[in-house]
Amino acid sequence: MDPKILADLVIPGAAKIVFLIMDGLGGIQMDGKGGTELQAARTPNLDRLAEISSCGLMDPIGPGITPGSGPAHFALFGYDPFEYNIGRGILEATGIDFPLTEQDVVARMNFATVDPEGRVVDRRAGRIPTETSQRICKKLSQELRAGGGVKVIVEPVKEHRAILVLRGEGLRGEIEDTDPEREGVPPLAPKAAVREAERTASLVGEIVIQTGKILAGEPKANMVLLRGFAKHTRYPSMKDRYGLNSLAIATYPMYRGISRLVGMKVLSEVSNLKEEFRALNDHFPKYDFFYLHVKQTDSRGEDGNFDAKVAVIEEVDQYLPQVMALQPDVLVVTGDHSTPAKMAGHSWHPLPLLLYSKYCLVDAVKMFDEVSCIGGALGRMRAVDLMPLALANARRLNKFGA
């Protein structure tokens, strides 16, 4: 759906939409467990809701495509995940709540170890402790100097991972990675991918040389490797696109960061499920779109811990009556992608999807799981189409054409 056409259909309204997103929710059957995580979980509240909802299966991106959390979330919010495939540097920055400006070019920075001839011997600098990285980043931020009024900021993320931010007028993001992606060779020189990025590439080149000098005395982190350069640009907001005043309730910085990129108000004081659902309750009068993100389903899936993922799903189920008591006009329950415990990682599998509203077509699905949802009224759809459907159910979309 062309976002401009959609934006033209949007009508102001007071109806409230809740997206309850269990990260990595989808699963596949695991041997000896008698089904998928959702099939194994006791979810009386979700099942009761499925009975009065439209259900279906949802592809985060498309058949066979396993998404990272970035594109999966952009799709959920109705943003074309191919168009908004944000750079790794930007994603890392959002992940540490770093306040980006539209003057910023960002790259992911890995500390690395080079030998006296400058050849990379460890691309991760022995995974130095985060404390070491914090100290080094502070030093770099203080001592690095770029010409032309450009400010250089180095922010630690975790262990050997950091971000490099160049802030100034006229910077460009089209710069190739300096990470050679193997050991035994020197880092690559930062190369402009387009002529307009040559000045920025040359600034990055100077920064790398200075960094080598500043870190010369470090036993492990004596060089940096840069990748995923990107210019930060302002994204159209949920308000611009859908007329929604949106609130993000998430415990992990990266999801808060992505929400901020699409103009949501972000709560940062929540740190567990109970607080998240209480926050939904407390802020319910003030917004009309709520994104409530549950991280633990994904984490337990990534651990390959089927039973623990089941337990998280069951815990979330217990909060559902609280959500229903708020009487949202539209309630969507789904995930951003699948993380089957059997695979201990993200996967391409479609997700179960449930949409409740006063105006949904009620199908015959009576259980909320991957197999039951196949028979649902929403059929098999792509995540990027979910937002228009939610808006329609909130009666916030006008008729298209006369």
Q: Which residues bind its own copies (CB under 8 A)?
A: 1-2, 5, 9, 28-29, 36, 57, 61-72, 81-82, 85-86, 88, 91-92, 228, 340, 342-343, 346-350, 359-364, 370-371, 374-381, 385-393, 397-402
d(CA 44, CA 33) in angstroms, rounded, equals 19
CB of 389 to its own copies, least distance (A): 4
CB of 65 to its own copies, least distance (A): 5
Q: How many CB atoms are closer than 10 A to CB 345?
A: 15
CB of 210 to its own copies, least distance (A): 27
Say if CB 391 and CB 10 are below 8 A apart: yes
Of the two residues 69 and 200, which places its CB atom closer to its own copies in the complex? 69
Say if CB 214 and CB 140 are below 8 A apart: yes
d(CA 254, CA 87) in angstroms, rounded, equals 13
**φ, ψ dihedrals at 117, nearest 5°:** -85, 5
CB of 273 to its own copies, least distance (A): 25
Provide the residue type at 315 as one letter.
E
Non-local (6+) Cβ contacts of 259 within 8 A are: 246, 248, 250, 266, 291
Of the two residues 80 and 218, which places its CB atom closer to its own copies in the complex? 80
Non-local (6+) Cβ contacts of 67 within 8 A are: 60, 61, 75, 81, 336, 337, 346
**φ, ψ dihedrals at 98, nearest 5°:** -75, 125
Of the two residues 91 and 166, which places its CB atom closer to its own copies in the complex? 91
d(CA 114, CA 223) in angstroms, rounded, equals 6
The Cα-based distances of 187 to 123, 126, 204, 219, 242 in angstroms read 10, 17, 13, 18, 45
CB of 79 to its own copies, least distance (A): 12
Say if CB 124 and CB 184 are below 8 A apart: no
Q: At what angle do helices 130-143 and 198-214 cross, to 10 degrees?
A: 120
Of the two residues 75 and 146, which places its CB atom closer to its own copies in the complex? 75
Of the two residues 192 and 371, which places its CB atom closer to its own copies in the complex? 371
Of the two residues 271 and 398, which places its CB atom closer to its own copies in the complex? 398
CB of 227 to its own copies, least distance (A): 11
Of the two residues 50 and 150, which places its CB atom closer to its own copies in the complex? 50
CB of 379 to its own copies, least distance (A): 3
CB of 183 to its own copies, least distance (A): 19
CB of 338 to its own copies, least distance (A): 9
Of the two residues 92 and 288, which places its CB atom closer to its own copies in the complex? 92
Sign of the Cα torsion 270, 275, 279, 282 reads negative
d(CA 155, CA 157) in angstroms, rounded, equals 7
Of the two residues 164 and 389, which places its CB atom closer to its own copies in the complex? 389
The helix (run of H) or strand (run of E) holding residue 6 is helix 3-9
